[in-house]
Amino acid sequence: MDDIKLRHTKITEPELSLSQNLNLSGLCECVLCSRHTLYSIMHLTVTVLCFIQTSLSLHPPFFFCSSHLQVAELYCSSCEGALCEDCMSDHVEHPKVALSQALEEHRSSLQERLEMVQNRLPQISDALSFVKEILQQLNNQRASIEEDIQSSFEDLHKQLDVRKSVLLMELEVTYGLKQKVLQAQADSLTRGDGDITAICTQTEEALAADPCVASLQMEQELGERLRELSHLSLPCQPEENDQLDLVMETDGLRKSIHNLGTIVTTSAVASQSEAMGAGLEQCIVGHPSSVTIVTRDKSGGACKSGNAILSAEVFTPDGSIVDGEIVDHKNGTYEFVYTVPKEGNFSLALRLYDQHIKGSPFKLTVTTASEVSPSTTTRRGKSPGQKKKGSKRASSALGTPRRKTQNPIEDDLIFRIGTKGRNKGEFTNLQGVAASSNGKILIADSNNQCVQIFSNEGEFKSRFGVRGRSPGQLQRPTGVAVHPSGDIIIADYDNKWVSIFSCDGKFKAKLGSGRLMGPKGVSVDQNGHVIVVDNKACTVFIFQLTGKLITKFGSRGNGDKQFAGPHFAAVNNNNEIIVTDFHNHSVKVFTPEGELVLKFGSNGEGNGQFNAPTGVAVDVNGNIIVADWGNSRIQVFDGSGSFLSYINTSADPLYGPQGLALTSDGHVVVADSGNHCFKVYRYLQ
């Protein structure tokens, strides 16, 4: 038996070795019986022939049946195998095709699948590039925040060291004053004690001696001295106290330090987030529409926290953009409220981290109130907290107030600059406007992520700005101002900070990072402080140019010191801050400390009324010029808020004006956002 096993081994080893070298399968493993040995040899012979044929690249190719060592010419589709004539009896009822045809079909199918998979490579490559870009931005954000943390805590350390030095100095001064008083008192008492002790000793010695005429003179002098000392006034009561206490209320400070700073983020992704609400279906001209956005993570789970970077844009048929407000409910849901000033077919783009959410962009149909059936109006309803807006204005009346003939300023349009585009002198959703003392007009070109600079005559001078979320880059510039030093101050809505650039566009610093939620407008007061209107936080911040926060005021609401989507600010000759309160349809004036001085305006289309005011400026006489966004007009008020007149814009009507400023030569410049241009008007002060 052992001899048989040995012979089996000698027979099978070469066969198995060859079959393994040829990467074959299906070779008969048992060669103990002659029948199996024959089949094994046949398998091996067929394999060797195929191997030789493939190696020598013989044409035309021959295919051998794996069972009968014959040339196979057919292919069984059911069994997926090659057939020779001897195999036919076992596959009579099976569908068969020519082997060459089957091979060609298989090759064709394989080629299609190959192309299908290869077609995915560009998509995967783009996705990889995009993810790497986000990863790089994440790294940049981490580095930026790390720098902010280091800077903030270094500043706090400096402040603590300064306070420590002040306290030690105060201690020394207070101690010195008290010590000087007590030491002078001690010196006086010491001198009095010495004088009294000395005269008493002399007197006692004189009394101890025998009386004589010679000592009489001396005794008289001693008596006179004793009389003086008996009436000597000495400070026997303490003239100071020893109190030096330290009051350090550190509990609140420790709690503040414990809660100082927080890392804000969310797991929301655009591909899973979705929008809902009546504002996605049908809108009424002049009436607010509301859309709710629900953010979700990569698995589709609802996010529970806010602070996601969300943007919303309503595009009109001519490509202009309608403004609105995004409200963060801090629970993973957001509300976008917007008002469309004319009818037509619009589109709504909702982006999360610059990517469209599910279904975006959405198609909107905007109609007049008369075209909407009562049932539809009832079904739409109003979003919680929405206030009633003014009645519809006909599109033909845009920029031409109904009662303008009562007291118009007879000014003309001097010129307009711009059209829709991304090149110099072209704009996409221009927002903030500033004018410098050296004859320059600066435009915050929001969707082109840059600032463009022109002369007062409209000649293009320069532009700067690189899209991104790192310091020195712009993501959504909405406000612009010029500091007396010449520096250019830019509010970056999406980056949630304010950037400082030199007059030639070189980045210098940023401020407000970690404090601001959605800065919209910026201005500069007479002290060189930076006024920032935070649209999302409904708060006005005042910073030093170094970034130190001086004060802040305001919160969300409709009270006197509250805002609902504030937009821009200006500063008058009294250093008072004038803020446009967009959804409260009013203008409010505050002291630098945040105390309300004046409030004027209400919702409507009449003189002195607003439908969402935006840009604001103050002339040398203290008159207040306001861009009335929803009514597409410009109104002028005196310093007490009384309506004076309109800027006449009827020749070339405005459409959704935004930022507004007074040029150094006394003209009014306004960002005509809906018409993708800025316009300069004569202004009679």
Could you give the CA distance from residue 366 to residue 293 in angstroms, rounded to a whole number? 20
Helices 216-230 and 120-208: crossing angle in degrees, nearest 10, is 140
More confident residue, 541 or 309: 541
Residue 332: left if φ>0, alpha if ψ -120 to 50, beta else—which one? left
Higher pLDDT, 552 or 1: 552
Judged by DSSP in three states, 181 sits in helix
**Cβ 405 vs Cβ 414: under 8 Å:** no
Contact 465, 474 (CB under 8 A): yes
The span from the CA of 451 to the CA of 481, in Å, is 11
Interatomic CA distance for residues 619 and 114, integer angstroms: 70
DSSP β-ladder status, 269-276 and 288-296 = antiparallel
Instruction: State percent of the chain over pLDDT 90.
Output: 46
Contact (Cβ atoms closer than 8 angstroms) between residue 641 and residue 587 = yes
Question: Helices marked H in 209-305 — which ranges?
Answer: 216-230, 250-258
Q: How much is the pLDDT for 149?
A: 86
Q: What is the mean pLDDT of residues 318-341?
A: 84
76 contacts 94 by C-beta, under 8 angstroms = yes
More confident residue, 328 or 407: 328
Instruction: Tell me the two tokens of residue 16.
Output: 């198995």
- Determine the pLDDT at residue 375: 40
**Rounded mean pLDDT, 301-315:** 89
Residues in the chain: 685
Task: Please determine, for residue 382, whether its predicted confidence score (pLDDT) is greater than 70.
Answer: no
Q: Where are the alpha helices (DSSP H) in 75-119?
A: 99-118
What's the Rg (C-alpha) of the chain? 45
Q: Kindly report which listed range (24-33, 139-148, 416-425, 526-535) carries the lowest average pLDDT score.
A: 24-33
The predicted pLDDT at position 685 comes to: 59
Q: What's the pLDDT at 594? A: 94
Q: How far apart are the first and last CA of the chain?
A: 123
Q: Which amino acid is at 598?
A: L
Q: Report whether pLDDT(282) > 90.
A: no
Average of pLDDT values for 514-535? Answer: 95
pLDDT computed for residue 569 by the predictor: 97
The DSSP result for 122-144, as a single string, is: HHHHHHHHHHHHHHHHHHHHHHH
Average pLDDT of every residue of the chain: 82
Q: Return the structure tokens found at 181.
A: 């008083």
| pLDDT, tens only, 52-64 | 555 444 444 556 6
Question: CA 593 to CA 617: how far, in whole Å?
Answer: 20
- 230 residue type, one letter: S
> Can you give the pLDDT at residue 216?
81
Q: Is the pLDDT of residue 396 over 90?
A: no
Strand ranges for 566-642 from DSSP E? 566-571, 577-581, 586-590, 596-600, 613-618, 624-628, 633-637
Cβ contact 71:64 at 8 Å? yes
Is 336 within 8 Å of 278 (Cβ atoms)? no
What is the rounded average pLDDT of the residues 543-571?
93
Q: What is the pLDDT of residue 256?
A: 83
The pLDDT assigned to 554 comes to 94
Task: Say what the pLDDT of residue 16 is.
Answer: 40
CA 588, CA 101: separation in Å to the nearest integer?
84
Provide mean pLDDT across the span 231-259: 85
**How far is the C-alpha of 523 from the C-alpha of 271, rounded, in Å?**
38
- Measured from the Cβ of residue 167, the count of other Cβ atoms closer than 10 Å reads 12
Return the biggest CA–CA distance within the chain: 175
Q: What is the mean pLDDT of residues 642-656?
A: 90
Give the confidence band of 141 by pLDDT, cuts at 50, 70, 90.
confident
Mean pLDDT of 362-375: 69
pLDDT of 142 strictly over 90: no
The whole-number average pLDDT for the span 180-188 is 92
* 2 pLDDT tier (thresholds 50, 70, 90): very low
**CB-based contacts of 270, cutoff 8 Å, min separation 6:** 351, 352, 353, 355, 356, 357, 358
Between 346 and 461, name the one with better pLDDT.
Answer: 461
Average pLDDT over residues 488-515: 95
> Any idea which residue has 């990569």 for tokens?
298
Cβ pair 123, 117 in contact under 8 A: no
